[in-house]
Amino acid sequence: MKVMVTGSSGLIGSTAVRHWDSLGADVIGVDNDMRQVFFGDQGSTRWNLELLLSQTRKFRSHAIDIRDREAIFELIRNHKPALVIHCAAQPSHDKAKEIPLIDFEVNAVGTLNVLEGVRRYAEDAVVCHMSTNKVYGDAPNELPLIEHATRFDYSRDEDYHGINETCRIDQTMHSVFGASKTAADVMAQEYGKYFGLRVGVFRGGCLTGQAHSGVELHGFLSYLVHVAVHRKPYTIYGYGGKQVRDQIDSLDVVKALEAFAGQPRPGEVYNLGGGRGNSASVLECIDWIEKLSGYRLEYRLSDQNRIGDHICYISDCRKLQRDYPDWKVRMTLETIVAGMIENAQRNKNS
């Protein structure tokens, strides 16, 4: 079996590489370390690529820019993968406003390049497209909320499980990043519904894990652990630090993609996050880090929230669980944070 992974040195991509390599697949990676261009040396995933090359058996990496249509077409034509895991993206809500053209070219046009390459040269392949909850823009903020001492939460019983896939994706403030990812999301759906390709769209919540190269503009929990371990200052933007996210480890993400690959539903959309059990505010994550490591993070509060940011976002994953009942979130928030602290301390001391 041949598996193509775009963004193969990133968090989800590298986890996918390791997973399918362990199953004996020929894994073809696509990654040119654009994260270093976006975020500088701290955001580079070169270290992860070197680990992958040393730890895998049949993985081959190609430093192709996802915007290079002919190179993507040639790769798909030559290898004809049975499965495509599309993770390559400009991932930052904040960075996108500085580079709107590049952001759209990478997120929207790059996705189209992959989809059209599959349609032309590997039409039987299953495609898992990693989308984002930012396609909902700030529509989730319209739900009535209640403010507690350390977090916001939904005030109505019917919203307990969080945001589901019926939340609207238009007539809302997305941010530039959210808009480019919405374009990619809708196009991926269309290649499933219109062309009949076996495409699934996964709207990720806060995706995290030990392979995350978190920076201030992207990778919230990873960066939070990094600054705590390295005794750096941290700024919380808006909402008094009570904004809520649900965290899901990359291992659980990849298991969801594997479930879909085994029984694809063309053009289907799924929310993919840690759910209520793995939800926490920024303040609560800081407390988790101190509880598990002893590091007390020094932070300041800014009144300026990020444009289009969610006040309370919990992924309702019941649709995914209904269609793939063997899948569930296995990595708890405590386990995720503890693993990231251990990894950060090891890297600090190495």
In this structure, whether the domain defined by 2-349 belongs to CATH 3.30.390.50 is answered with no
CB 244 within 8 A of CB 151: yes
* 226: pLDDT strictly greater than 70: yes
Annotate 269-288 with b (16+ C-beta within 10 A) or e (fewer): bbbbbbbbebbbbbbbbbeb
Q: In what helix (H) or strand (E) does residue 237 lie, and over which residues does it extend?
A: strand 234-237
Checking if the pLDDT of 210 tops 80, the result is no
Q: The whole model's pTM is what? A: 0.94
**Does residue 40 register a pLDDT over 90?**
no
296 against 188, higher pLDDT: 188
Walk across the sheet containing 244-249 and list its strands. Answer: 206-208, 244-249, 279-281
274 in Cβ contact with 333 (< 8 Å): yes
For residue 346, the model assigns a pLDDT of 81
For the chain, percent helix, then strand, then coil, each to nearest 5?
45, 20, 35
202-208 average pLDDT score: 94
CB atoms within 10 A of CB 332: 14
Q: What is the pLDDT of residue 215?
A: 58
pLDDT reported for residue 309? 86
pLDDT at 219 over 70: no
pLDDT, one tens digit per residue, over 236-295 is: 999 999 999 999 999 999 999 999 999 999 999 999 999 999 999 999 999 999 999 998
What pLDDT band is residue 217 in, cutting at 50, 70 and 90? low
Mean pLDDT (whole number) for 318-333? 98
Residue 241: CA atoms inside 13 Å, Cβ hemisphere, count?
17
Q: What is the mean pLDDT of residues 103-126?
A: 98
Mean pLDDT within 200-229: 81
pLDDT of residue 92: 87
Question: Which of these, 171, 136, 165, 142, lies nearest to 155 by C-alpha position?
Answer: 142
Tokens representing 262 are 């085994």
Q: For the chain, how far is it from start to end, CA to CA, in angstroms?
A: 37
According to the model, what pLDDT value does residue 209 have? 85
Mean pLDDT of 313-329: 98
Give the pair of three-digit tokens for residue 300.
Answer: 């300041």
Q: What pLDDT sits at residue 150?
A: 98
The SS3 of residue 93 is coil
Over residues 227-232, the mean pLDDT reads 89
Percent of the residues in the chain that have a pLDDT greater than 90, as a whole number: 82
Is the pLDDT at 31 greater than 80, yes or no? yes
Q: CA 221, CA 205: separation in Å to the nearest integer?
A: 12
How many alpha carbons lie under 13 Å from residue 334 in its C-beta half-sphere? 3
Domain boundaries, the chain: 2-349
pLDDT at position 18: 97
50 has a pLDDT exceeding 90: yes
CA-closest candidate to residue 131, choices 192, 84, 87, 77? 87
Q: Considering only 3-7, 36-40, 104-108, which range has the smallest mean pLDDT?
A: 36-40
pLDDT for residue 168 is more than 80 = yes
Query: What's the mean per-residue pLDDT of the chain?
Result: 94
- Provide DSSP, 293-341: H-----EEEES-PPTT--SB--B--HHHHHH-TT----S-HHHHHHHHH
Q: From CA 105, how far away is CA 99, in angstroms rounded?
A: 10
